[in-house]
Amino acid sequence: MNIALIGNGAIAKYIVNALTGTRIRITALLVRPERAAAWDGTGPRLISTTAELPEDTQLVVDCAGHSALRAFGPAILSGGRDLITVSIGALADAMLLAELTAAGQAGGARLHLASGAIGGLDVLRAARAGQLRHVHYTGRKPPKGWAGSPAEKVLDLPALKSGSAVHFEGTARQAALAYPKNANVAAAVALAGLGLDDTRVTLIADADATGNTHQIEAQGDFGELSLTLTGHTLPDTPRTSALAAMSVLCAIQDRRATIHF
């Protein structure tokens, strides 16, 4: 299988490393123009437009973030290639969601949402076949995991040396739009379950946290779900859980599997 990745950051590097020497070949990395122009010929080819995607590319994988999904997603789908993304919070933008849906229909291609840094989405998806009454997601990271996010406007993150502080409470849509690099899990939980406007979200900076903790509390006809997952972060970033990168790899590998979840 031949795939292209969007981005060359922490998640993309994990995927490139994991696929090296396997039967899944990376045809190109789609990056910003200045980065593509500086390509030195080593490693996967760097390109900056979807028109440059090598013809034999069968699948594209977004590991870059909301702006990249917005910039490249519609053209990839309308061009007939399936796309896997971890930038799930971008779908809180209703116009982008409509654009991606229309592009996928026009191109006969599908957008696959990787499960990312959380588990339990299968429970929520099945549970909503009955009545799902309440879903609350709590995201907890060490202060440095929130650097560059709106948490900086609410808290003095470097000064938080012990204990924890809430810096966001609201809906999953509000969280996803305000925290594009930190609330994709909130959006995934919402899209799997009660939706972006009915899923409650709390985001916490915790000086005592040793990893990124994701909690789901849900109730409905199915019963009750209480899930807590504490994830290690990737070595390249204190923000991103390793499980997010692993889920992308899993989604890619699943494309080749005859029998899969």
Ligand X SMILES: NC(=O)C1=CN([C@@H]2O[C@H](COP(=O)(O)OP(=O)(O)OC[C@H]3O[C@@H](n4cnc5c(N)ncnc54)[C@H](OP(=O)(O)O)[C@@H]3O)[C@@H](O)[C@H]2O)C=CC1
Interface with ligand X (CB under 6 A) = 7-11, 31-32, 35, 63-68, 71, 86-88, 116-117, 180-181, 184-185, 188, 237, 239-241, 244
Site string for ligand OAA, 66-105 (x = CB under 6 A): ----------------------------------------
CA 147 and chain centroid, separation: 18
Question: What is the rounded distance in angstroms from the CA atom of residue 167 to the CA atom of residue 108?
Answer: 41
* CB nearer to ligand OAA: pick between 35 and 181: 181
Find all residues with CB under 8 Å of 135, minimum gap 6, and list them.
124, 189, 190, 193, 194, 198, 199, 200, 216, 217, 218
Distance (Å) of CA 43 to CA 46, 145, 152: 9, 29, 36
Least distance CB 102 / ligand OAA (angstroms): 26
Q: Are 60 and 83 in contact (CB under 8 A)?
A: yes
8 is in an annotated binding site: no
| Span 199-238, contacts to ligand OAA by CB under 6 A | 212, 231
For the chain, the straight-line distance linking the first and the last C-alpha, in angstroms and rounded, comes to 19
Helix H or strand E segment including 139:
strand 132-141
- Is 134 a catalytic site residue? no
* CB nearer to ligand OAA: pick between 111 and 117: 117
Contacting ligand OAA (CB under 6 A), which of 84, 92, 239, 247?
A: 239
* CB nearer to ligand OAA: pick between 75 and 217: 217
147 is in an annotated binding site: no
Distance (Å) of CA 149 to CA 139, 179, 227, 258: 13, 6, 25, 41
Residues within the interface to ligand OAA (CB under 6 A): 117, 181-185, 212, 231, 239-241, 244
Positions at the binding site for NAD(+): 117, 184
